């Protein structure tokens, strides 16, 4: 059980957006905005009409920036941790971005929104690749054709190969010791033979 602890506050300016963020010790990067997240955001731009998903939102940095630079009601934040979801909602409200939607879901398993122009994700660092595999394969299904996935890690080879097998290609940007992956959905089908998107016309993508 997570021990209760007082929330902390971070003041940060990200992509020209001034933010005041409440965090808690049990959440990811509670003392400062994560450097990997900043690296990813340095490669992603948000248009005024973009529909954006902050996948694994934590206390909401990516979603907040997207909401402030675009339309908040076209921004979704998702996390499996109830504490992260609660904190993200509080931060959206405190930074005048309350029109964004925050969802409690383990990846895409309880989340059915689709048609995203951009999905951004800083996946957990672990030996098991099941989580990023789920994010990459199911994220592809939720993008519009022409939409892009952005992902940041400190490991390159597996992510480069996996993203390429799904999207057919990937740009890899080296930023401050991180690899930022940028892949655009160009077709309705996965690139590699043997991979099949599970979404079908009239059915919810999973």
CATH number at residue 102: 3.40.50.150
12 inside domain? no
141 inside domain? yes
SS3 136: helix
Segments in the chain forming alpha helices (H):
35-43, 61-69, 82-94, 130-142, 157-167
What is the extent of the structural domain holding 144?
34-184
Q: Is 89 exposed, middle or buried (0-12, 13-18, 19+ CB in 10 A)?
A: middle
199 inside domain? no
Of the listed ranges 55-64, 83-92, 122-131, 146-155, the one predicted with least confidence: 122-131
pLDDT of residue 203 exceeding 70, the answer is: no
Query: Do residues 150 and 171 make contact, with C-beta atoms less than 8 angstroms apart?
Result: no
pLDDT per residue as tens digits for the range 103-136: 999 999 999 999 999 999 999 877 689 999 999 9
Residue 106, CA distances (Å) to 1, 60, 118 in order: 18, 16, 19
Cβ-based neighbours of 35, under 8 Å, separated by 6 or more: 176, 177, 178
* pLDDT at residue 126, as a whole number: 74
192 inside domain? no
Residue 200, CA distances (Å) to 140, 189, 197 in order: 13, 11, 8
95 inside domain? yes
What's the pTM?
0.91
pLDDT of residue 201 exceeding 60, the answer is: no
49 inside domain? yes
168 inside domain? yes
* pLDDT at residue 11, as a whole number: 96
The count of domains in the chain is 1
131 inside domain? yes
pLDDT of residue 3 exceeding 50, the answer is: no
pLDDT per residue as tens digits for the range 148-197: 999 999 999 999 999 999 999 999 999 999 999 999 999 999 998 767 66
What integer best gives the mean pLDDT of the chain? 92
């Amino acid at each position: 059980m997570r021990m209760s602890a007082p929330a902390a506050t971070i003041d940060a300016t990200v992509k020209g957006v001034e933010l005041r963020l409440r965090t808690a010790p049990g959440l990811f990067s509670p003392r400062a905005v994560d450097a990997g997240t900043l690296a990813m955001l340095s490669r992603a731009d948000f248009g005024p009409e973009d529909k954006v998903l902050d996948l694994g939102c934590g206390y909401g940095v990516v979603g907040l920036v997207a909401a402030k630079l675009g339309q908040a009601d076209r921004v979704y934040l998702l996390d499996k941790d109830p504490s992260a979801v609660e904190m993200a909602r509080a931060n959206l409200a405190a930074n005048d971005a309350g029109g964004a939607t925050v969802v409690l879901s383990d990846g895409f398993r309880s989340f059915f929104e689709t048609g995203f122009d951009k999905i951004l994700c800083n996946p957990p660092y672990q030996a098991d690749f099941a989580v990023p595999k789920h994010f990459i394969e199911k994220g592809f299904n939720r993008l519009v054709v022409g939409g892009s996935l952005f992902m940041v890690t400190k490991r390159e080879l597996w992510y480069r190969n996996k993203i390429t097998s799904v999207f057919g290609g990937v740009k890899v940007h080296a930023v401050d010791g991180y690899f930022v992956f940028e892949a655009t959905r160009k077709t309705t089908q996965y690139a590699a033979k043997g991979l099949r998107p599970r979404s079908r016309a009239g059915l919810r993508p999973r």
